[in-house]
Amino acid sequence: MSNTTPPAIPPGPRLSRATRIFIAVWLSLFVLGALNHNILPRAGLLLNLHLPHLRYGYVMFSRNFGVVAVPYYKPADSEELRPLAELVKTPAPFMKRTRTAVMVLMTKFEYFFALCESAPEAHGAEFVLKLHAPGRPEIDDQYRRYLCYQGQLYAEKAEQKLPDLGL
């Protein structure tokens, strides 16, 4: 009997050829996917899987919103501005306000209009966008106000345009 202490973690069998090939292919794809968002496009190469969530441009960003429109609403019987996220029933733990606001921006305000249409509490409420646009004094710190009536949003001023988000 040997007096040496056996290793606590057994070494296990060697990897099969199939596992080795899988690892090599898997990691290569991963590196390729990462390069596809920065270096490959600059080299004139672009891989596009065309699948939901895997389509090119779907992930990774490193630039921030130049214009932010924080969405609020003011219930018909209140003077207080409330985060628009309160009209969304689906919870989003630790990030509901931001998720709602980002969705409003990413959908170029379509989600803002959709919430007026779908949320029962929205009827008669005022929908408000508070704009934040550093370097653009013509819209920075301004408000856009809309009345949500029977599923449609009506601008406070007819000429009021939604800001260009530069997305």
User: What is the C-alpha to C-alpha distance for residues 86 and 74, in angstroms, rounded to an integer?
Assistant: 11
Q: Which of 131, 158, 129, 132 is nearest to 145 (CA)?
A: 129
From the list 2, 44, 79, 94, which residue makes contact with other proteins (rule: CB under 8 A)?
A: 94
Check residue 92 for interaction with other proteins (CB under 8 A): yes
Check residue 95 for interaction with other proteins (CB under 8 A): yes
Site size for other proteins (CB under 8 A):
63
User: What is the C-alpha to C-alpha distance for residues 96 and 142, in angstroms, rounded to an integer?
Assistant: 23
Task: Name the CA radius of gyration of the chain, rounded.
Answer: 25
Check residue 107 for interaction with other proteins (CB under 8 A): yes
Q: How many residues does the chain have?
A: 167
Which residue stretch of 11-19, 120-128, 149-157, 159-167 sits at the interface with other proteins (rule: CB under 8 A)? 11-19
Which residue stretch of 2-10, 121-129, 143-151, 153-161 sits at the interface with other proteins (rule: CB under 8 A)? 2-10
Q: Which of 87, 74, 65 is nearest to 163 (CA)?
A: 65
CB atoms within 10 A of CB 112: 25
Which positions lie near other proteins, rule CB under 8 A? Answer: 8-12, 14-15, 19-20, 22-23, 26-27, 30-31, 33-35, 37-39, 42, 50-55, 58-64, 68, 70, 72, 83, 88-95, 97-99, 101, 103, 106-107, 110-111, 114-115, 117-118, 130, 132, 134
